[in-house]
Amino acid sequence: MILAFLQVALGGAVGSALRFGVGLLVLRAATPGFPLAILTVNILGSFAMGLCVVWLAQRGLTAWQPLVMTGLLGGFTTFSAFSLETFTLFERGQIGAAALYVALSIILSVGALAAGVILARGLWA
């Protein structure tokens, strides 16, 4: 179990550094104002998650999932995990559950961020 935590930590560090680097590259190439860097990272990470979940499973390399999927891709973008969970529900035929998961994730996550901002501004104003 400790090895899995170390794999996630190592992969997360590399993934976060990659996210930062890709973000800088995209920002230099794009005009400011629209969060194109995050959108790009989310799309790339979700695509890579799709490739990895199949590739690792087909080759019996699921022991690499903590390093690659949870760590590297999770550090690169947690949106890839969200995308995988949504697609898994969809693939199982749980269309309503997938739609609910998407709606709740977006609405509650943005709402929680807004609540945190409002609370912080009230506390430290």
| pLDDT single digits (tens) 51-95 | 999 999 999 999 999 999 999 999 999 898 999 999 999 999 999
Binding residue positions: 74, 77
pLDDT score of 123 more than 90: no
pLDDT score of 48 more than 80: yes
Distance (Å, whole) CA 120 – CA 89 = 35
Q: In whole angstroms, how far apart are CA 34 and each of 26, 40, 99, 105?
A: 11, 11, 26, 21
Binding residue positions for Na(+): 74, 77
